[in-house]
Amino acid sequence: MTLISLTITDLLIAASLVLLVALLSWRLYLGSAKQLLIAATRSAIQLMLLGYVLHLLFESDSLPLIAALSLFMLSVAGYEVMARQKESFRGAWGYGIGAVSMFISAFSITLLTLLVIIQPDPWYKPQYAIPLLGMLLGNTMTGIAIGLDNLTRNARELRDQIEERLILGQTWSQAIGDIRKDALRSGLIPIINAMAAAGVVSLPGMMTGQILAGSPPYEAAKYQLMIMYLITAGTGFGSLAAVWLGSRHLFDARHRLRLERLKKR
């Protein structure tokens, strides 16, 4: 099997379809044409730059450069988590909860995969390390963003219920327990749906990419299965950490609800 290289013309044809969707959005007054064009432009610039950077990393196998790129990816993911919430925490907490949760989950699972499962030589080989970390960060970011958004939104909407429970003598954890469970459940829904539909409704992205690149389909399926399990674990651990930290920060040391720590975007 040989890899068919894409030309600039091929990419322009695909981009024209996005432009057509943006045009339809503008004509129908959907209000998303500008966002769609900006996102498409950003993705083109970011992916081309990433391709160039990865080319340099693959040639050098430099651990400091790999670590620097990994931390940069984490910092951007932490910002995106905060930016996707209708109500985010004020100050450093707004950024820190998502970033810390992803660092704990995505980085630890990536290290476990490299050191125990795949075992490349060297263990930080960028061909494996960067794609693995990128997929884990991207999917964990989505789960954390959905979970935190659900938590903060429901905490404000159900403020009276939470305060009634506190008056009755419940701790902060008991008072917000149901809301926290719903937030965790919402954060896990995307990856549960993805696993349930994999191979039946959809052909997952990594498997598709490997097949297009010439890998045997059965080998591609094994890699995709491993990745989906890792993403599920990362999303679960990351969402659990983020929602717990977020719900704890909604209360002070005397178990009083502090919604002024939230800000609407």
pLDDT at 90: 85
The answer to whether residue 185 scores a pLDDT higher than 90 is yes
pLDDT at 127: 86
* pTM: predicted TM-score of the whole model, two decimal places: 0.80
Task: Give the least confident one: 20-34, 120-134, 165-179, 207-221.
Answer: 207-221
Residue 223 pLDDT class (50, 70, 90 cuts): confident
Burial class, 49, CB count within 10 angstroms (exposed 0-12 / middle 13-18 / buried 19+): exposed
Show the DSSP H helices in 198-216 as ranges: 205-212
Element (H, E) at 263: strand 262-264
The answer to whether residue 190 scores a pLDDT higher than 90 is no
Report the alpha-carbon distance of residue 133 to residue 204 in Å, rounded: 17
The predicted-structure confidence for 5-58, as pLDDT tens digits, reads as follows 778 898 899 999 999 999 999 988 888 889 999 999 999 998 888 888 888 888
- Average of per-residue pLDDT across 115-133: 89
Quote the DSSP letter at residue 168: T
pLDDT at 83: 79
The answer to whether residue 209 scores a pLDDT higher than 80 is no
The predicted-structure confidence for 129-165, as pLDDT tens digits, reads as follows 988 898 899 888 989 999 999 999 999 999 999 999 9
**Nearest Cα residue to 107 out of 238, 223, 244:** 238
Q: What is the DSSP string of 80-148?
A: HHHHT-SEEESTHHHHHHHHHHHIIIIIHHHHHIIIIII--SSTT-HHHHHHHHHHHHHHHHHHHHHHH
Over the Cα atoms of the chain, what is R_g? 21
Residue 200 pLDDT class (50, 70, 90 cuts): low
Q: Determine contact, residues 109/101, Cβ cutoff 8 Å.
A: no
Residue 115 pLDDT class (50, 70, 90 cuts): very high
3-state secondary structure of 257: strand
Report the alpha-carbon distance of residue 89 to residue 101 in Å, rounded: 15
Better-predicted residue by pLDDT, 84 or 112:
112
The answer to whether residue 212 scores a pLDDT higher than 90 is no
pLDDT at 114: 93
pLDDT at 16: 94
The answer to whether residue 247 scores a pLDDT higher than 90 is yes
Report the alpha-carbon distance of residue 239 to residue 242 in Å, rounded: 5
**Nearest Cα residue to 238 out of 126, 112, 115, 143:** 143
Q: How far is CA 94 from the centre of its chain?
A: 16
Length of the chain: 265
Task: Give the least confident one: 2-6, 128-132, 184-188, 198-202.
Answer: 198-202
